[in-house]
Amino acid sequence: MKSTGDARPVPGVLRLFWVSFLIAFTAQAFAADAALPCPPQLRPAVDFWIRVYTQIDTNAGFLHDPNNLGVVYATVHFAPGSSPWERQHMVNAERDRLAAELRSIAAGVRPLTPQERRILGLWGPHVSAARLREAADDIRFQLGQSNRFRAGLIRSGAWHHAIARALAEQGLPAQLAALPLVESSYNPRAYSKDGAAGLWQFMPGTARPFLRIGAAIDQRFDPFSATVAAAQLLAYNYRVLGTWPLAITAYNQGVAGMLRAVHTLGTRNIATIVARYHAPTFGFASRNFYVSFLAALYVEQHAQRYFGRLHRLPEEHFHEVTLPGYVSVASIEGALRVTPAKLRELNPALLPPVWDGELDVPKGYRLRLPESGPDWSVAQLSARLGPQALLAEQLRPPVYRVRWGDTLSGIAARYHLDIWALARFNGMPVNGVLRAGQRLRLPGVSRPPVQLAAAAGPPMARPAVYRVQPGDTLSGIAVRFGVSPWVLARLNDIALNSVLRIGEPLHLPGTAATLTADDLPAATHALRPPAGTVLAANAAADRVALPPAASRLASGPNQALADARLGTPGTRADSASDPQPVSANQAEALGPMLGPEGVPADSVDPTDYTVAPNGTIRVAAAESLGYYAEWLNVSAMDLRRINHLAFSQPVRIGERIRLDFRHVTPQQFEQRRIAYHRALEASYFASHRIDGTRSYVTRSGDSLWTLTQRFDGLPAWLLRQYNPNTDFFTLHPGTPLVIPRIVPTRAAG
């Protein structure tokens, strides 16, 4: 293991020439792109990230100044296979050495050593002693990413055309296709410590308006669905913020955060905001998100120069068919003769409870099947599966065994139960602590499943003996031939969960009429083993339907509303802590981003919910004095008195009111307020989804109320989210509005 003072092991003159050439070349490359500008102030930062993406891999890293990315003190090289502890020890030692040299220079100790002269040269002759002392405390380590970046370029081929098509449909710049390189290295299974998931690293709250997320499905892991959602989100960001640098930064920071920056500084200039805007959530990651994107775009456009000829993955092709009912994976595998591995590969949005047999693939899901197989129609699929396999309702297990990381609200959301009903059914408080292995009874799950009434063709003609094929399961074979798995197991004297051997002969009953009531267990679920048995068998499996890293708000709207009422705010990681990995494994553990790891925003809501320095807030949609009083632990009359409001006078959206902070801090109030609004969003998007937008020009008589009714009960808060700069209380005919297109959807489970 060694450390080199120069960032590249070349002579100083050559290094200076290389950096000057690179900056000049990138300046020329970005100057022609008015939509994605690279101001001169940002070019050293772009150059830094280009070097991170191309010069060093995850066995090396830069020690640099976090505020002036043109200052790279040293390159630290690690021995392959060295432990994280060894690497961290080396980074700390090198950082301490550099800090001591900076302090020595600042103290005026002369003569300077050759190393100190080199460090001073990085800062220039006019740097102050105070700035050097500050720099000594700020030295940051950045792990190299060239190997991960190269792997991302190779993976990108599988979705290149789908991404280009989705961006074009929204009228977005084609260059935005480089964003997944920064977010996930084009890994559709990427998952961050903060709960961001998939190719585009959606947080649950940001994804819910556009994607299905539930116990059975999480479309964030589907690169095609997530790409369409990302295009819609980016288009929304741009409509609200007006420039692509701000819209791209908002992809990480959130629209509300960027609007605060714009209003605070009175400018939309990204270079000014990066240099001058200071806020607790606008740390190193947010300041560097746009420049790291520009760097990724530049490297992607000149990939052969840095990585040679790359053979990118071929584009994915498949058939799709919409499921007319709820159906188990085993039924699909058996009836369509698709191997489990191939089915998983083509359907990454389906979650472990589906693959484990706890839940069915939901009705309406667009099932993907191999391109080499038949192009099934819905009618053909229904006929092949048979009426016994297609259900009108989702299966719920009667008993659930608690796993590590589970919460009562999360379990309630997973099975679409009321959290208070679930707690009451199990004789425990709604905020009770769960133990791993504990059994919970789920209310209302003993009903028999209702089979679809859709006509289906007769089951396949049955031979007397069937020989097991690769990928076969007992339940899959039973469904294929229209028999009960219990009958099939009894006839062959085997257990229901027996592992079948390829080529093994199975005797099949002569006709479906051989099924009798005695052949079935007392409580049967769609002619499958009771789900509680499946759950018990898989209790130790390493899977979490709702990731434990996600916030409490991801656990369900009921809990979030309770949090808002009871004053138990959700927690948010401090982005200022900025943990830095020293190995590829640590980088994956912290998060898949190739750039600086930050805490992404978990909502598209552009509303500023912060309290002003003078103790006032601006009233938002769906708020009232009663809510404010509850969040402040005061009476509504107290608030009326300090705001000089009559007894029956309501507060109006957009007006400022003064608050009473005798019992809670402004930060506590903000957390409760945000929890309330996130709960509203989660509740609404549990059964609705945004599918694009439409334009509307207001007419005489239009108001906020009439508009929400005109567009199928569109919530006022959602209409305002898409038109944040419109004053709905002074609407004039001819005002252009953006209306989100809402489609109803069943909960994704």
183 is catalytic: yes
**Which one of the listed residues 94, 101, 183, 630 is annotated catalytic?**
183
> Which H/E stretch holds residue 534?
helix 531-537
Rounded to whole angstroms, the Cα distance separating 492 from 488 reads 6
Give the count of alpha carbons within 13 A of 635, CB side only. 4
3-class secondary-structure state, position 741:
strand
Element (H, E) at 322: strand 318-322
Q: Long-range contacts: 461-467, Cβ < 8 Å, 24+?
A: 462/508, 462/509, 462/510, 463/508, 464/507, 464/508, 464/510, 465/505, 465/506, 465/507, 465/508, 466/505, 466/506, 466/508, 467/503, 467/504, 467/505, 467/506
What's the token pair of residue 721?
């989210």
Q: Which amino acid, residue 186?
A: Y
Number of H helices, E strands in the chain: 31, 14
Q: Contact, 271 vs 41, CB < 8 A?
A: yes
What is the Cα–Cα distance from 388 to 717, expressed in whole angstroms?
A: 43
Tokens of 644: 């000089």
What tokens appear for 77 in the block?
A: 């090289």
Query: How far from chain centre, in Å, is Cα 108?
Result: 50
Name the helix (H) or strand (E) containing 692. strand 688-697
For the four alpha carbons of 690, 691, 696 and 702, in that order, the dihedral sign comes to negative
Nearest CA among 324, 336, 342, 333 for reference residue 460: 336
**Gap between the Cα atoms of 424 and 25, Å rounded:** 67
Q: What are the b/e assignments for 421-445, b being 16+ CB within 10 Å?
A: ebbeebeeebeeebeeeeebebbeb
Q: For residue 328, how many other CB atoms are within 10 A of its CB?
A: 26
Contact 62, 142 (CB under 8 A): yes
Tell me the two tokens of residue 100.
């001591």
Which residues are CB-neighbours of 207 under 8 A, at least 6 positions away?
Answer: 213, 219, 220, 226, 229
Closest CA to 218 of 194, 198, 232: 198
Instruction: Specify the 3-state DSSP secondary structure of 107.
Output: coil
476-512 in b/e form (b: 16+ CB < 10 A) is bbbbbbbbbbbbbbebeeeebeeebeeeeebebbeeb
CA dist., res. 729 & res. 653, Å (int): 8
Q: Which has the closest alpha carbon to 562: 687, 674, 432, 675?
A: 675
How much is the CA Rg of the chain, to the nearest whole Å? 29
Q: Give the residue numbers marked as catalytic.
A: 183
